[in-house]
Amino acid sequence: MNQPTPVVNTAELHPGKVLRVCNHGGLQLRHSGTETLRLYLSLYDYEYDADDGPGRVCVLRVLDEPALEVVLTDNEGLVTAFHGRRAAGGYAPLDFPVRQARFDRVFTASTARWTVTADGLDLDVEFLDLAPPTLTVGLHPTDASVDTIGVASEAESARITVNGRTIDGDLFANEGYRPWVGHAFRSALVTMSEIHVDRAGRGVVVNHDA
């Protein structure tokens, strides 16, 4: 199998199909002083998707009372594809109601904020004091058919309100990332410019000088 060999001032052209480009905000909070999860948010902000077009998908779970489990989106085709990828990765299905929503975002050098408005639901999540970014390149942590590259920034803190109610809780070290990058990531993590590429054809890197 050929391996990518950098050649000075020559690019490697990766042959796999580019599947999608997205930004991602992931936030998990535990009840203060415990290891009990209180909030889970995973927001994919797709700027490009080869099959389903741009759009957003946000999985929101508030696990205390009043409990709330919902998928918010402005493109239901993306939700169907999202569920399919979860199933292919061996994850349990998310049997949450899907609601149409409007998404707005503001990114600065040190913050990332999404506001999401659906019928009867207002979500405002902000990642604060983002650390200097790191570039990660490799096999996707949850989808073995995909190579990924992305710029990840841990947030020192985060703020989230649901229908005006602030959801407090503790951030923690998310060990789920350790097998992937060799260390935990904080449970408030923003990944920008994330590219997913089908691994089919991997090893046949196109290099015009080769």
Q: Which amino acid is residue 151, in one-letter code?
A: V
DSSP letter string, 112-156: EEEEEEETTEEEEEEEEEEPPPEEEEEE-SS-TTEEEEEEEEEEE
Could you tell me which residues come within 8 angstroms of residue 138 by beta carbon, excluding any fewer than 6 positions away? 147, 148, 180
Which region, judged by CB under 8 A, interacts with another protein, from 34-42, 92-100, 166-174, 192-200?
192-200
Answer positive or negative: Cα dihedral of 72, 176, 83, 61. Answer: negative
Site string for another protein, 126-145 (x = CB under 8 A): ------xxxxxxxx-x----
Number of residues that bind another protein (CB under 8 A): 46
Residues 171-190 that bind another protein (CB under 8 A): 179-182
- In the bound state with another protein, the residue whose beta carbon lies nearer, of 47 and 168, is 47
- In the bound state with another protein, the residue whose beta carbon lies nearer, of 35 and 208, is 208
Q: Is 10 in the site for another protein (CB under 8 A)?
A: yes
Q: Which of 12, 76, 122, 124 binds another protein (CB under 8 A)?
A: 12
Site string for another protein, 16-45 (x = CB under 8 A): xxx--x------------------------
Pick from 21, 30, 29, 32: nearest CA to 188: 29
Residue 4: both structure tokens together = 């990518």
Q: Is 168 in the site for another protein (CB under 8 A)?
A: no
Site string for another protein, 79-108 (x = CB under 8 A): ----------------------------xx
Pick from 162, 153, 164: nearest CA to 131: 153
Q: Which of 24, 31, 37, 54 binds another protein (CB under 8 A)?
A: 54
CB 40 within 8 A of CB 162: no
The burial class, CB within 10 Å (0-12 / 13-18 / 19+), for 72 is: buried
Task: Name the site residues for another protein (rule: CB under 8 A).
Answer: 6-14, 16-18, 21, 47-51, 53-54, 107-110, 132-139, 141, 149, 151, 179-182, 192-195, 197, 208-209
